Amino acid sequence: MLDSRLGPTHGSEVASARNVNVKQRVSERERQGTSERPPAADIKCASGSSLLRGSSFIRAPQRTSIFFGNAKCYDFLPESPSQALPGCRLGTGRCELRIKEAMSSLRSSPAPTKVFRGHAYDVMSLAFIGDAHLASGDVKGNLRLWNISELETTSQKLTHGGESILGLRSCGGITSGGILSHGRDGRILEWEYGKSGELTELGEVCTGLAEGFCKFDVYSTEGKTRFSYLAAAESERSTSIGIYAGSGDQVASLTQREKSWGMCTALQFHDEYNLVSGHEDGRLRLWDLRAGSAVAEESISDEPIFALARHPVDGTFVCGGASSDVVSFKIASNEFSRLQAAILRNPGVSQMCFRSDGRILVVACWDGGVRVFGTKSGKDGQLRALASLRYHEAMVHCCAAHGVGGLFASSGDDRRIALWDVYAGKMSNV
C-alpha cells in the first residue's frame, strides 16, 4: 500500500504485476542452455507486486526479493540496516523504498549480452580458448567447452574424480588448441580440442598438489603457444609452491620460512625468474626462482589474499581478497611499491583479470557483483570505477577476459555464465 506522506495514491492503478521469477520466464533457448539479452522490465518484488510507479514509493513488508528484468538484484530484509538498499529509510517491520535514489543504479547497470545455462552445479573457473570458445568448470568436476558464436556446448567431460575444478588456462596443444585444468584432486590435466570442439584428455601435467583452493598460474615465453613454467601450491596445508617446466618435470620447490604465513592462497608470475604469492596472513611474497627463496614481502591486509593479476603491458599488479580493498602495486629492485587503491562497497574478491591491452580490470566479487575499473589513476590515486554489473544472484567465483575487444565472462554460485561487453550500454558507478 502506498504511503500518503511519500506521494499520491494510485488506488486501482496499483495492481499486481506479473511475476518476473526467472524459472517462469525461461524461453525455449534458455532450456537448451543459452539465452539472449533479457528484456527490460519494471522493478518488481518476488510476490509479483510492482515497486515502481512514477516517482512514488511502496512499502515492502518483511523479507523481499527484488528483481530488475529477470535478474534478482537484492534479498532485502527491512529490519536489518546492513541489508537495506542504499537510500532506504528503515521503519518497524517495513521499509520505504526510495525508488529514484535506491534503484537508479539498477536501471543503469547493463544486462549481459548472452547468458549460457547448462551447469547443474556452482561454476568455479572460466577461460577463453582461442577466439571462438569458452571453457568452464564446476564444483563437481564437470568441464564444458562452449562455442560462443553458435551458443552451444561443443563438449562436456566429467573429470578430476568429481572434485572441483579450481582453474582453467589456455595452452598450446599437439595438433590444435589446448586447455589446462586444475582440480581439487591434486592434479593438473591437459586437454586438446580440435576444430569440432571435442575435448580429448592428453594426460597429467603434474600430480600431488595441494587439495585446497589456490589457483595455479603459468608463464609463457613470448612467441610460444605452450607454457614455459607452471606454479601451483603443494603439500597438505598449501605451505609450499611447486614450479614445473612445460615438460611436466618439477624444477623447484619453494618452502615457507615461517608457519605464521599460513596457506598460499594466490599465485602470479612476475617474469621467468620471479613469482608473486598471496597468503593467508594478508601478505604478498616475491620469490626468486633461481635462489628458491622469498626476497621481499609486503603487508596488504589483515585478511587473506585470494586474487592476483598482472598488467599485460606495464607489468604492475593488482590484488584483492577477503577485505574490501583492491590494491595495485609494482615491483622494482626486489621491492614492493603501492600505486593505487579502490575500496569496494562490500568485502570479498574471488578473482580478477585484465583486458589484453591492460586498460580494463574486471573483478569478481562475493556479493554477486562484477566490478569494472579503468587502470588509470583517478581521484586520490584510486583505480577509476567504470561499472558495477548486477546480474548474478549469488557469489561470483570467476571471471575471464577475451583476447580481443571488450568481451569478458563471469559466473559463480548461480550456475549461469554471463558474457559482457564493456562497450555496450551505459555503465553505472561502483
Which grid cell sits at 143?
A: 568441464
* Residues 142, 120: Cα–Cα separation, whole Å: 9
pLDDT higher for 388 or 222? 388
C-beta of residue 38 within 8 angstroms of C-beta of residue 70: yes
Residue percentage of the chain with pLDDT more than 70: 69
DSSP 8-state code for residue 122 = -
146-150, 246-250, 282-286, 378-382: lowest mean pLDDT where?
378-382
Mean pLDDT, rounded, of the chain: 76
pLDDT confidence of 275, banded at 50, 70, 90?
Answer: very high
The string of pLDDT tens digits covering residues 102-122 is: 444 444 578 899 999 999 999
The string of pLDDT tens digits covering residues 325-340 is: 999 999 988 999 988 8
| Confidence at residue 39, expressed as pLDDT on a 0 to 100 scale | 34
Give just the sign of the alpha carbon dihedral 218, 221, 222, 225.
Answer: negative
The string of pLDDT tens digits covering residues 161-195 is: 999 999 999 886 444 568 999 999 999 999 988 77
Q: 316 in a domain, yes or no? A: yes
Q: Nearest 5°: CA angle at 389, between 383 and 392?
A: 130
| Confidence at residue 313, expressed as pLDDT on a 0 to 100 scale | 86
Cα–Cα nearest to 64, from 10, 30, 103: 103
How many domains does one find in the chain? 1
Is the pLDDT score of 2 beyond 50? no
The owner of cell 496499483 is 14
Phi, then psi, of 257 in degrees rounded to 5: -80, -30
22-36, 217-231, 258-272: lowest mean pLDDT where?
22-36
Q: 110 in a domain, yes or no? A: no
pLDDT higher for 47 or 189? 189
Which grid cell sits at 245?
A: 617446466
Three state DSSP letters for 52-64: CECCECEEEECCE
Say how many CA atoms lie within 13 Å of 140 toward its Cβ. 9
Domain of 179, CATH number, reads 2.130.10.10
Q: 56 in a domain, yes or no? A: no
Cα–Cα nearest to 142, from 162, 126, 128: 162
C-beta of residue 125 within 8 angstroms of C-beta of residue 137: yes
Q: 268 in a domain, yes or no? A: yes
Phi, then psi, of 282 in degrees rounded to 5: 80, 15
SS3 3: coil
Is the pLDDT score of 350 beyond 60? yes
Q: 259 in a domain, yes or no? A: yes
| Confidence at residue 171, expressed as pLDDT on a 0 to 100 scale | 80
End-to-end CA distance of the chain: 32
C-beta of residue 354 within 8 angstroms of C-beta of residue 332: no
pLDDT higher for 109 or 288? 288
DSSP 8-state code for residue 2 = B
Q: 26 in a domain, yes or no? A: no
Helix spans in 97-218 (H): 99-102, 104-108
Domain that holds residue 130: 115-421
| Confidence at residue 34, expressed as pLDDT on a 0 to 100 scale | 42
| Confidence at residue 18, expressed as pLDDT on a 0 to 100 scale | 30
DSSP 8-state code for residue 108 = H
Is the pLDDT score of 16 beyond 70? no
* Residues 137, 159: Cα–Cα separation, whole Å: 10
The owner of cell 577477503 is 322
4-13, 59-68, 297-306, 356-365: lowest mean pLDDT where?
4-13
pLDDT confidence of 88, banded at 50, 70, 90?
Answer: very low
The string of pLDDT tens digits covering residues 402-421 is: 877 789 999 999 999 999 98
| Confidence at residue 23, expressed as pLDDT on a 0 to 100 scale | 36
Is the pLDDT score of 258 beyond 50? yes
* Residues 409, 411: Cα–Cα separation, whole Å: 7
| Confidence at residue 257, expressed as pLDDT on a 0 to 100 scale | 78
Q: Nearest 5°: CA angle at 171, between 410 and 226?
A: 150
pLDDT confidence of 237, banded at 50, 70, 90?
Answer: confident
Is the pLDDT score of 424 beyond 60? no
| DSSP annotation string for 255-318 | E-S-GGG--EEEEEEEETTEEEEEETTSEEEEEETTTTEEEEEEE--SS-EEEEEE-TTT--EE
Which grid cell sits at 418?
A: 554471463
- Cα–Cα distances (Å) from 61 to 1, 52, 86, 91, 279, in that order, read 10, 15, 17, 10, 44
Q: 358 in a domain, yes or no? A: yes
Q: 28 in a domain, yes or no? A: no
DSSP 8-state code for residue 17 = P
